[in-house]
Structure 1
Amino acid sequence: MKILITGATGMIGSELASLLLQNGHSIHYLSTSKKDLKNEPNYQGFHWNPQQGVIDENCMLGVDVIVHLAGASISKRWTQTYKQEIIESRIVSANLLYKLLKCNPHQVKHFVSASAIGIYPDSLTQNYTEDNKSVDASFLGNVVVKWEESVDKFKLLNIKVCKIRTGLVLSDKGGALKEMKKPIQMGLGSPFGSGKQWQSWIHISDLVHLYYFAILKEWQGVYNAVAPNPVTNAELTKAIATKLNKPFFMPNIPQFLLKIMLGEMHMLLFASQKVSSQKAIDNGFEFRYHHLEQALNDLLA
């Protein structure tokens, strides 16, 4: 199978590309950086610039599946300019792919896109499944709605569409875990706010294997990519401290303080989304890392 990946050089994309190559598939990938383009057996890079509407049409030659991971990081301060970049980096890139497929012969049958559990409303009590239609009245909720709408258009081209709503990705190569470790390693670990907010997490290995499973089984519709056992922020922070043999006695960090430090982006640390992965399980996917302790034993060994 030949698979086109956007965002292939990012934390998730590079792990997914590696898994696909190990299993004998060919990779085409799109990059905005010409110096990052490689031309190796089964791994070929093509240039694009979504903002300028530029894309190398050869990227689609022989491609069966598109995995769309491209998008500006949400883990930077949300200025008005950057908020626009967060939205446009997802929508404009999807629109460019759509236009290319609509206007040219191709053999793409399946479009698998990243999405986020940030679409679900902030709640300490609700358990969210993919059937829930309510949307969080926040910037991030709005981003995910527009993101998924841009992806759903591919159905008009008779292409199967799957949206992977991803939770907090735990990896030893970057992302949230790396940032959470920093204060804990200094002996300053403590929960955010009440610490009662739910954090629906997933090990990076389970996430990329879930993407691969979605490709193989031609999943359609929305799937939550979270481990079966979410934890509270207090439980997560304490578990990391315990694994690192660091103290965990500092007072909880008040929300107003992080709002001063991080601006609107501080909501990422306080939003509570308890999300179910039962649909993925019911459709045959098997998680390797069911519990947080298993994941941290692997990532913080």
Structure 2
Amino acid sequence: MRILITGATGLVGSEITRLCHEQGININFLTTSKGKIEKNETFRGYYWNPSTGEIDVRCLEGVGAIINLAGASVFQPWTASNKKKILKSRIDSLNLLHRTLKSNPHQVGQLVSASAIGIYPSSRSKMYEEDSTQLANDFLGEVSQKWEAAADKFNDLKLRVAKVRIGIVLSAEGGALPQIMKPVKYNLGAPLGSGKQWQSWIHIHDLARMFLYIISNGLTGVFNGVAPNPATNEELTKEVAHALDKKLWLPKVPGAALKLVMGEMSGVVLGSQLVSSSKIQQEGFSFNFVNLRPAVKDLLT
């Protein structure tokens, strides 16, 4: 069986691809860049353009499961046009996959689609489980809800559908960690806002393992893609400083200053989501990185 991955060359997709190659799983991937197309037995690229509805249907050949990671980065100025792009890129990708499966013969039995813990409202005290009925009413909440609704349509095609609400992905190659590292390296690091906001993190290797675990066990429904022990922004900053043997001496960066500079997008770093991983653990998944310090040390030293 092959796995079809959208977003295979992104941060998470690259790690899933690496893990698949380790385990002898062959990959088909979809890309909007014709220059990234490769053709070999273990890693076959196919062109698509979700905004225009173009797709090479040969991408389905031999595929038993799809991992969907496609979507424009939320880490860009939240102008009206960029907001539209962020949302549209996610919905268009899933809608095109849905139409393609509906109108072509295939052996696909499962879809595992990315979502985000931004679907939960900001709170410093409430622990969110997957069955929470409280949903964020901000932009990230809207994106996540519509993203998941688009994935749920695949149930109509009799596929097993799972959604992974991804937390803060820790990787040395991109995402939050290098952004925290930059000022810390020069002894200029500091917690953001109060520093008490919860940041439910996950080591990128565990996240990749989780996606493949869901496929190999045929799991369905929603799963939080976070490690068992969330940390505060201050704890995360301190652990990065500890791993780099640096000092934190500057005062915390005021939330008001971040709102002034980042606008509405400041909610990404000032928001607090305390999220549980118990559901995936109850399904038998075991994390390699349960606590923050070993995870950061593994990535930075």
TM-score interval, normalised by the smaller of the two chains:
over 0.9
**AA paired with 1:23?**
Q
Residue 180 of structure 2 is aligned to residue 195 of structure 1: no
1:41 alignment partner in structure 2: 41
Q: Which residue of 1 is the match for residue 125 of structure 2?
A: 125
How far apart are the structure 2 equivalents of 1:236 and 1:33?
35
- Residue pairs, 1:44-83, within 5 angstroms: 44-83=44-83
The whole-number CA distance in structure 2 between the counterparts of 1:250 and 1:21 is 44
**Could you tell me how far apart the structure 2 residues matched to 1:158 and 1:105 are?**
14
**Residue in 2 that maps onto 1:205:** 205
1:255-292 per-residue CA deviation (whole Å, 9 max, x = no partner) reads: 12112222221111011000000011110000000000
- Show structure 2 runs of 5+ residues with no match: none
Equivalent-residue separation in structure 2 for 1:81 and 1:255 (angstroms): 26
Matched, 1:179 2:179: yes
CA distances 1:152-185 after superposition (whole Å, capped 9, x unpaired)? 0000000000000010000011111011111111
Question: AA paired with 2:280?
Answer: A
The TM-score normalised by the length of structure 1 is 0.99
Q: After TM superposition, give the deviation of residue 133 of structure 1 in Å.
A: 1.5
Percent identity reads: 49
- 1:242 Cα deviation after fit: 1.6
Query: How far apart in 2 are the matches of 1:243 and 1:57?
Result: 47
* Offset of residue 45 of structure 1: 0.2
In the other structure, the counterpart of 2:145 is: 145
How do residues 218-237 of structure 1 correspond to structure 2 at under 5 angstroms?
218-237=218-237
TM-score if structure 2 supplies the norm length?
A: 0.99
**CA RMSD after TM alignment:** 0.8
Q: Which amino acid aligns with 2:231?
A: V
Show the counterpart of 2:251: 251
Q: Which residue of 2 aligns with 1:266?
A: 266
Amino acid of the residue matched to residue 196 of structure 2? K
CA distance in 2, matches of 1:168, 1:42: 29
Q: Which amino acid in structure 1 is aligned with residue 70 of structure 2? A: A
Instruction: Specify the alignment match of 1:92 in structure 2.
Output: 92
- Equivalents in 1 of 2:72, 2:133: separation in Å? 25
